[in-house]
């Protein structure tokens, strides 16, 4: 549905149209636009130009593409819609149900548009249910000559689009053993593959146990890639190895998990890499695509790549050589007391730029929202202290700060030609605790129970009750909602936030599903002696991990606010010429707290900023359903307006018929906020 609000734009002479044809604004992933029709002097005149309702109500996180006057958006149910970019009128809609796929799921953050040099051939690429489809941008029809009748089976889901280089499409994915792959854009034939778990004789093979090729999983680069098209280098940010929180069965540094990789875009050959987290035990997968920009450093211009992290650190490298712009120190971190686990002794910390958030939670950080909250937070931090960004996993509860959702998150950063990097950051504490994967009364686990605890309990809860705050559904009574065949299909291909477990042995998969369908009810199992167990018994108990993660838990106060002194969310400008923070401002507020006389606190935020030559930063992201514009030089708020739902997506901007628009997907749904599906376009008032 479309609602036209603006009248014809007649008062301005037409100028050349400007597209937004690539996810995040360009293959550099820098969310930068040269457009300046909307600028500091007139931004106060912004108004809604049109809106479009997707018809879905879920997390709508798409960074939309605009090509030749058409806007292309993937909806929450993975439909693809083409709209008139001036009016919002629907031109065509592609629905994956016509391709006999499983139902489309949310968290699709974008599409890939490809055209040959003369523009005669054009394609849109989208992913549903582990399948990659090629569509005709003019009609929305599936291109049947691609792959097998229009699609190829990736064996892995995608929530972030790949990147096109010449006539190949380079993709990452979710789940599986871990790889980066390139496919022919016309035929779908695989051109090359880079294995993220090295094979014998390859660099990094000695950083894993010998059986890692058969048993290790994860590493898939889900957050997207960037491309130096002139040099033919693709930059890839990778995930944690699985299981995320227990590494006793994958001892070693685990290359190429948690790495920034530079690959030859034509062949997949590794050019250089840097591992940002060694032997990750804390789900510190790299959360956002690398950003390419140019800086003035040491008296000369250097092309660099900047990689943000969940713990609020920014790593900057010469994008050709891989040399860091500033020294990176390996510093000691706390060591685990879990039997059979080996924490890596050090982790890398850049000497510049400084951290973009607090790196520890001390008594000085105790919440000051109210006296009651302050006392409760003080009591909790004394009982469960924080040990910095790399606390050692333990059976004892600790405060995890920086938290599991950043620091930086999937929205990532923006960068302008002046070498300034802009990024929003979360400062939310979480709780960390491991549990033993055996019953307290000494009885053995039933078949499937341990693997459920390790792979599924993290999100769906050890008691199968789910986590409503984080939108992980309960599995109790799942047989009333899905057949066993549907459950098996989801575990193989993934969906939504769930990765694919296509490599899981069928016997193990079957046992886990049996356990879930039995509702996890206790079954008779022989009891064992209750005497303390030996270390080797814990480590090798039933040939599975001795420990599992106790579940994702934000640390909130009794009112539901983060149990830490604000700010809870910030917007930052970092000068990467000097390595210094240029400015930092609070991002977001809770009106009810402001009404109590509390200064704006910032909120948890998801979705990135857009920076323009008009001197502006556009950003939604916050939990207060507000779209804001900041002055990129000072961080001052210049304009803001309410959105129908949270704008947890990165904005796009374009010009059609002489008029500049800024558009954002507003779907909300994060941190328990209202959900919907509205595309909102803004332009200057006539």
Residues of the chain above pLDDT 70, percent: 91
Give the per-residue pLDDT at 25. Answer: 98
Q: Which of 152-156, 236-240, 263-267 is least confident? A: 152-156
Q: Going by DSSP bridges, is the β-strand pair 259-264/270-275 parallel, antiparallel, or unpaired?
A: antiparallel
Instruction: Answer whether residue 468 is part of any domain.
Output: yes
Task: Report the Cα–Cα distance between both ends of the chain, in Å, rounded.
Answer: 24
Give the per-residue pLDDT at 537. Answer: 38
pLDDT digits over 655-672, tens only?
999 999 999 999 999 988
- Residue showing tokens 């739902």: 645
Give the per-residue pLDDT at 502. Answer: 65
Beta carbons of 651 and 71 less than 8 angstroms apart? no
* pTM metric for this prediction: 0.89
Q: Is the pLDDT of residue 68 over 50?
A: yes
Give the per-residue pLDDT at 500. Answer: 63
Per-residue confidence band for 522, with pLDDT thresholds at 50, 70 and 90: very low
**In the chain, how many domains are there?**
1
What is the C-alpha separation between 155 and 150, in angstroms, rounded? 16
| Stronger pLDDT, 11 or 34, i.e. the higher one | 34
Instruction: Answer whether residue 534 is part of any domain.
Output: yes
Q: Measured in whole angstroms, how far is the alpha carbon of residue 406 from the centre of its chain? A: 10
In 3-state terms, what secondary structure has residue 164?
Answer: strand
In 3-state terms, what secondary structure has residue 46?
Answer: strand
Instruction: Answer whether residue 499 is part of any domain.
Output: yes
pLDDT digits over 424-452, tens only?
999 999 999 998 887 777 677 777 887 88
Give the per-residue pLDDT at 538. Answer: 39
Mean pLDDT confidence for 214-218: 84
Q: Of 615, 647, 440, 411, which Cα lies nearest the Cα of 528?
A: 440
CATH code of residue 486? 1.10.760.10
pLDDT digits over 217-230, tens only?
888 999 999 999 99
Give the per-residue pLDDT at 121. Answer: 95
Per-residue confidence band for 503, with pLDDT thresholds at 50, 70 and 90: low
Instruction: Answer whether residue 380 is part of any domain.
Output: no
Instruction: Answer whether residue 453 is part of any domain.
Output: yes
pLDDT digits over 562-613, tens only?
999 999 999 999 999 999 999 999 999 999 999 999 999 999 999 999 999 9
Domain span at residue 520 reads 434-550
Beta carbons of 274 and 317 less than 8 angstroms apart? yes
> What are the distances in angstroms from CA 431 to CA 239, 386, 404?
21, 9, 9
CB atoms within 10 A of CB 298: 8
Instruction: Answer whether residue 535 is part of any domain.
Output: yes
Mean pLDDT confidence for 338-342: 93
Average pLDDT, the chain: 91
pLDDT digits over 382-416, tens only?
989 999 999 999 999 999 999 999 999 999 999 99
Instruction: Answer whether residue 164 is part of any domain.
Output: no
Q: Is the pLDDT of residue 534 over 60?
A: no
What is the C-alpha separation between 685 and 441, in angstroms, rounded? 70
Q: Is the pLDDT of residue 202 over 80?
A: yes
In 3-state terms, what secondary structure has residue 49?
Answer: strand
pLDDT digits over 296-337, tens only?
999 999 999 999 999 999 999 999 999 999 999 999 999 999
Mean pLDDT confidence for 360-373: 94
CB atoms within 10 A of CB 269: 11
Give the per-residue pLDDT at 238. Answer: 97
Instruction: Answer whether residue 571 is part of any domain.
Output: no
């Amino acid at each position: 549905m479309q609602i036209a609000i603006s009248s014809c734009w007649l008062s301005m002479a037409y100028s050349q149209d400007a597209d937004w044809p690539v996810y995040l604004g360009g293959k550099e992933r820098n969310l930068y636009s040269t457009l300046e029709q909307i600028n500091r002097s007139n931004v106060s005149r912004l108004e809604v130009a049109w809106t479009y309702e997707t018809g879905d109500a879920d997390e709508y996180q798409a960074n939309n593409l605009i090509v030749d006057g058409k806007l292309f958006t993937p909806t929450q149910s993975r439909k693809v819609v083409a709209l008139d970019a001036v009016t919002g009128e629907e031109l065509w809609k592609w629905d994956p149900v016509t391709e006999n796929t499983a139902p489309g799921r949310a968290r699709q953050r974008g599409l890939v548009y490809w055209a040959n040099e003369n523009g005669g051939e054009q394609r849109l690429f989208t992913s549903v249910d582990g399948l990659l489809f090629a569509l005709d941008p003019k009609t929305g029809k599936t291109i049947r000559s691609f792959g097998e009748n229009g699609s190829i089976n990736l064996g892995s889901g995608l929530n972030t689009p790949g990147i096109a280089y010449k006539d190949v499409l380079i993709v990452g994915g979710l789940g599986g053993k871990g790889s980066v792959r390139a496919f022919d854009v016309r035929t779908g034939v695989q051109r090359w593959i880079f294995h993220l778990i090295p094979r014998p004789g390859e660099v990094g093979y000695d950083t894993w146990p010998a059986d890692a090729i058969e048993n290790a999983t994860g590493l898939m680069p889900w957050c997207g890639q960037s491309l130096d098209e002139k040099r033919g280098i693709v930059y890839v940010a990778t995930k944690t190895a699985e299981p995320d929180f227990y590494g006793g069965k994958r001892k070693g540094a685990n290359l190429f998990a948690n790495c920034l990789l530079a690959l030859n875009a034509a062949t997949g050959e590794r050019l250089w890499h840097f591992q940002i987290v060694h032997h990750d035990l804390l789900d510190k997968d790299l959360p956002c695509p690398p950003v390419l920009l140019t800086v003035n450093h040491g008296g000369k211009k250097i092309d660099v790549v900047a990689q943000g992290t969940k713990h609020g650190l920014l790593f900057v490298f010469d994008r050709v050589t891989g040399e860091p712009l500033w020294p990176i120190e390996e510093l000691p971190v706390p060591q685990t007391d879990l039997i059979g686990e080996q924490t890596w002794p050090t982790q890398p910390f850049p000497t510049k730029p400084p951290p973009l958030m607090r790196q520890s939670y001390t008594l000085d950080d105790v919440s000051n929202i109210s006296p009651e909250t302050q006392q409760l937070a003080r009591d909790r931090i004394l009982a469960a202290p924080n040990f910095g960004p790399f606390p050692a996993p333990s059976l004892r509860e600790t405060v995890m700060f920086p938290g599991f959702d950043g620091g930086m998150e999937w929205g990532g950063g923006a960068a302008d030609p002046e070498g300034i990097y802009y990024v929003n950051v979360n400062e939310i504490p979480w709780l960390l605790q491991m549990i033993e994967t055996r019953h307290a009364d000494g009885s053995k686990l039933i078949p499937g129970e341990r693997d459920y605890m390790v792979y599924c309990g993290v999100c769906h809860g050890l008691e199968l009750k789910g986590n409503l705050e984080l939108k992980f559904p309960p599995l109790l009574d799942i047989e009333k909602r899905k057949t066993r065949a549907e459950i098996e299909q989801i575990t193989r291909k993934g969906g939504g936030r769930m990765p694919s477990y296509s490599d899981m042995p069928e016997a193990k998969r079957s046992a886990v599903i049996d356990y879930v369908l039995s509702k996890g009810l206790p079954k008779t199992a022989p009891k064992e002696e209750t005497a303390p167990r030996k270390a080797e018994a814990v480590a090798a108990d039933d040939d599975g991990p001795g420990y599992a993660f106790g579940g994702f838990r934000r640390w909130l106060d009794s009112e539901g606010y983060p149990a830490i002194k604000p700010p809870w969310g910030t917007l930052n400008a970092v000068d990467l010429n000097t390595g210094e923070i240029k400015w930092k401002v609070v991002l977001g507020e809770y009106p009810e707290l402001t009404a109590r006389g509390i200064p704006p606190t910032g909120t948890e935020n998801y979705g990135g900023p857009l920076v323009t030559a008009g001197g502006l930063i556009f950003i939604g992201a916050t939990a207060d359903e507000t779209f804001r514009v900041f002055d990129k030089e000072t961080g001052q708020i210049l304009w803001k307006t309410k959105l129908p739902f949270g704008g947890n997506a990165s904005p796009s901007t374009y010009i059609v018929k002489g008029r500049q628009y800024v558009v954002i997907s507003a779907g909300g749904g994060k941190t328990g906020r209202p959900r919907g599906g509205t595309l909102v376009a803004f332009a200057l008032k006539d």
